[in-house]
Amino acid sequence: MLTLDKLQQTGKKATRDGFGAGLKAAGDKHDNIIMLTADLRGSMKSEDFINAYPDRFIQCGISEANMMGVAAGLATAGKIPMTTTFANFSTGRVYDQIRQSIAYSDKNVKICASHAGLTLGEDGATHQILEDIGMMRMLPGMTVINPCDYNQTKAAVQAIAEHHGPVYLRFGRPSWPIFIPEGQKFEIGKALHLNEGSDVSIFATGHLVWYAVEAARQLEKEGISVDLINIHTIKPLDEAAVIASAKKTGAVVSCEEHNKYGGLGSAIAECLSKNQPTRQEFVATDDTFGESGTAEQLLDKYGLGIKDIVAAAKKVVAAKRS
């Protein structure tokens, strides 16, 4: 098992860089992978794949809905299409096409979505989608994955290439700490236990996993034992891991770069309300849109910082003990 001592920053790269590396590795293994993009080949860090396999790349232009239709057709023909654009355009702009042409018929399409959440930064609220996880987890049969760093994103891409069925893979724009060991097994639907603890369970996804690691270090110094779990797959949720941890600690914090409605926190609350009712605090955006700013400024302003995770953990532990 991993521990806080083993989770050390080894560098910084964007999770979208991990996508590009994973795409090339998956393409080397699967000659039926086709990459499609909506005029964002550079932003998606896909040049290595395109240079190696130019005949397996389709430039759809700024026509995202059409891209989803093309992907559905390719899947029908036995290909593994991976669509690429920003998360806002991968979901909000094309939800009808995803529902009707991909999810409804269980097409083997991988929807790869970058620049998700507040950490998109200066592009502002119109591009900072904070509702996408909720939208996608509501679609029957859709797998929803939100990896936390370069290494995990690279592994996730290779895992979804092996998985049959529609997948939503969410990742981001900014350079971010690399801390998951290279070669760490990625199993769809299986949570990754990062630290064993007994006072509070912290479940985190995406960029906020690193912040949760840093918060756990601070809490441990203050005598609060943290059971820290990386939920990279939000659907299907690893309910067994969630229930076991909540039963052990009796106090839960969920952390995500997403609206408090419909995302990881909601999925955990749904699970626990049926199986192990537990006090829970939500570190998430409070039913709001974002704005322009640096990633760090926005995470701090919207209550997604390290200090916010620490405060949530202390609050739920105090409530448990009262």
Residues that are catalytic: 64
The residue behind tokens 């537990």 is 278
In angstroms, the Cα distances linking 153 to 15, 63, 237, 315 are: 6, 26, 18, 32
Site of tokens 């899947």 = 75
Alpha-carbon dihedral angle through residues 33, 36, 41, 45, given to the nearest 10 degrees: -40
Distance CA 98, CA 71 (A): 10
Which residue in 273, 199, 219 sits closest to 243, CA to CA? Answer: 273
Residue 211 to residue 306: CA distance in whole angstroms: 5
Looking at the chain, the number of H-run helices and the number of E-run strands are: 12, 14
CB atoms within 10 A of CB 58: 16
Sign of CA dihedral 64, 65, 66, 72: positive
Phi, psi (degrees; rounded to nearest 5) at 316: -75, -30
